[in-house]
């Protein structure tokens, strides 16, 4: 606890000086029975105590006592990131003839680890196939996202691939974000074969709202369009990655994690509680007690 205006206490010696050196000039006051009141007030030690408690409380209130607490917010508005996941039927295949591990099941495990690392970011999730939908808006509640990932299934958004619709939806999800950095991470193993939004429109939305896009092509390179994915990412300041097997996919997400660091330096927040009401209350009660005793002495 401290006082905002400690210089107010300089009035204390001034009042002490006036109490001793500045006698009350009764002849300048016109008030019935002023002689009697002054005599009683001067002789009563209890009344003198209440008087000085009133003055002390008033001065303490004017000095504005405050209590401050400094803390660092749990969450920072540093980065909003949307994960855009292809769930079309082709994601049910293996990475290659050698790597027969299901692409979508592998992706889900990697996603869970990636989400766990993004402690200081708000994350959102868009799933797309023949159409795109928001599985989760951007949120700090990563536990909900991690619990949702195992329930994602291939084909849940249709059979074909609407890449540009999904990108446009990510842009609309982030357009009102107040975060310093807005990022979308698109993963697909196919070409755009569905949807209503053209590539140029999706690209323009990302640029308009200042969203950086990272694109990932998984599986065999001839299945997806690396040229378009690369051009789309680089037009927003992002990068394109290819992942031919589970290990490469995991490394891609680790690279993105390094390119977009989650840690955000937080300025401490100071919570200030003003306590002037307490000495002011003491001053008011002391003044009332002083006047009460003064009135009783007159009777």
* Residue 29 confidence (pLDDT): 44
**Strongest mean pLDDT among 36-50, 66-80, 92-106, 146-160:** 146-160
Mean pLDDT over 24-50 rounds to 55
Q: Is residue 87 part of a domain?
A: yes
Give the residue, 251 or 267, on which the prediction is more confident: 251
- pLDDT category, 298, cuts 50, 70, 90? low
**Strongest mean pLDDT among 7-16, 178-187, 257-266:** 178-187
146 lies in the same domain as 163: yes
- pLDDT category, 8, cuts 50, 70, 90? confident
Round the average pLDDT of the chain to a whole number and report it.
Answer: 83
Mean pLDDT over 159-183 rounds to 92
Q: Is residue 264 part of a domain?
A: no
133 lies in the same domain as 244: yes
When mean pLDDT is compared across 16-30, 64-78, 252-266, the lowest value belongs to: 16-30
Task: Please give the Cα distance from 281 to 292 (Å, whole number).
Answer: 16
100 lies in the same domain as 231: yes
209 lies in the same domain as 184: yes
Mean pLDDT over 65-76 rounds to 70
Question: Is it the case that residue 44 has pLDDT exceeding 70?
Answer: no
- pLDDT category, 166, cuts 50, 70, 90? very high
Range of the domain at 279: 2-70+269-298
Q: Is residue 84 part of a domain?
A: yes
Question: Is it the case that residue 196 has pLDDT exceeding 70?
Answer: yes
* Residue 213 confidence (pLDDT): 96
* Residue 26 confidence (pLDDT): 44
Residues 6+ apart with CB under 8 A from 139: 122, 123, 124, 145
Mean pLDDT over 98-102 rounds to 65
Mean pLDDT over 154-169 rounds to 93
Domain count for the chain, please give it.
2
88 lies in the same domain as 208: yes
Question: Is it the case that residue 191 has pLDDT exceeding 90?
Answer: yes
* Residue 123 confidence (pLDDT): 93
* Residue 27 confidence (pLDDT): 46
194 lies in the same domain as 235: yes
């Amino acid at each position: 606890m401290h006082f905002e205006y400690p210089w107010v206490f300089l009035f204390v010696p001034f009042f002490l000086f006036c109490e001793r050196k500045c006698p009350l000039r009764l002849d300048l006051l016109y008030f019935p029975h002023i002689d009697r009141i002054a005599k009683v007030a001067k002789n009563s030690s209890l009344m003198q105590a209440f008087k000085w408690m009133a003055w002390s409380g008033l001065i303490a209130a004017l000095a504005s006592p405050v209590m401050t607490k400094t803390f660092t917010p749990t969450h920072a508005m540093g980065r909003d990131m949307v994960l855009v996941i292809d769930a079309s039927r082709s994601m049910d295949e293996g990475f290659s003839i050698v790597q027969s591990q299901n692409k979508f099941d592998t992706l889900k495990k990697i996603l869970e680890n990636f989400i766990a690392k993004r402690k200081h970011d708000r994350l959102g999730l868009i799933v797309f196939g023949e159409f795109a939908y928001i599985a989760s808006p951007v949120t700090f509640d990563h536990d909900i996202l991690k619990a949702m990932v195992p329930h994602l299934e291939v084909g849940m958004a249709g059979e074909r691939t609407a890449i540009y619709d999904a990108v446009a939806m990510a842009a609309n999800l982030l357009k009102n974000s107040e975060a310093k950095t807005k990022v979308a991470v698109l993963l697909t193993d196919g070409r755009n074969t569905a949807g209503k939004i053209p590539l140029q429109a999706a690209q323009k939305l990302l640029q308009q709202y200042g969203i950086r896009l990272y694109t990932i092509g998984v599986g065999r390179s001839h299945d997806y369009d690396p040229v378009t994915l690369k051009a789309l990412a680089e037009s927003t300041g992002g990068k394109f990655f290819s992942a031919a097997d589970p290990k490469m996919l995991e490394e891609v997400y680790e690279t993105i994690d390094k390119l977009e660091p989650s840690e955000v330096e937080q300025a401490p927040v100071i919570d200030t509680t003003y306590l002037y009401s307490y000495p002011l209350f003491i001053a008011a009660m002391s003044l009332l007690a002083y006047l009460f005793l003064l009135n009783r002495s007159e009777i």
